[in-house]
């Protein structure tokens, strides 16, 4: 029984190499810059681990397990991709991001009700040369 507990703790505490820190070797599949409610927002999409390869919903090159990292107003959000049909969308249950229209993506937050943030593509992100 002790070996089982030890194994479970090892699995729970294991951190994938790409999540270990800023020197991460994983590169984003896509980077975009937006203005949301007048403030800059950076969006980076990562492939992530495909934990259910039998699921056929692979839209825009993002399989289940993909995630987006949003940086906005001093907050960094990592939102997992949903398995909704159609264009990719990302949510953690509170925040929602969906670039159905890449020029005006949907960005929402649930706080009691749903707050919607108006977003539009910016000309260049902070990573641009």
Domain boundaries, the chain: 28-121
pTM: 0.69
CA 4 to the chain's CA centroid? 33
Q: How confident is the model at residue 5 (pLDDT cuts 50, 70, 90)?
A: very low
Q: Which residues pair with 68 in a beta bridge?
A: 45, 79
Give 84-115 pLDDT, tens digit per residue. Answer: 877 889 999 999 999 999 999 999 999 999 99
- The residue written with tokens 């993909």 in the block is 66
The whole-number pLDDT of residue 124 equals 67
Checking DSSP bridges between strand 95-98 and strand 90-91, what pairing results, if any? antiparallel
Q: Which two tokens stand for residue 77?
A: 């959000």
The gap from C-alpha 17 to its chain's centroid, in whole angstroms, comes to 18
Compute the mean pLDDT over every residue in the chain, rounded to the nearest whole number: 77
Tell me the C-alpha distance between 60 and 2, whole Å.
45
Which structure tokens are listed for 85?
Answer: 């049909």
- Residue 86 three-state SS: coil
């Amino acid at each position: 029984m002790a070996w089982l507990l030890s194994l479970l703790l090892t699995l729970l505490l294991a951190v994938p190499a790409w999540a270990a820190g800023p020197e991460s070797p994983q590169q984003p599949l896509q980077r975009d810059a937006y203005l949301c409610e007048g403030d800059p927002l950076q969006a980076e999409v990562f492939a992530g681990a495909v934990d259910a390869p039998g699921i056929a919903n692979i839209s825009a090159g993002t399989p289940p397990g993909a995630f987006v990292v949003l940086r906005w107003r001093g907050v960094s959000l990592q939102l997992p991709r949903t398995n909704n049909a159609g264009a990719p969308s990302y949510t953690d249950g509170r925040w929602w991001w969906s670039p159905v229209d890449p020029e005006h993506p949907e960005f929402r937050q649930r706080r009691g009700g749903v707050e919607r943030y108006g977003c539009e593509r910016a000309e260049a992100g902070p990573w641009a040369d």
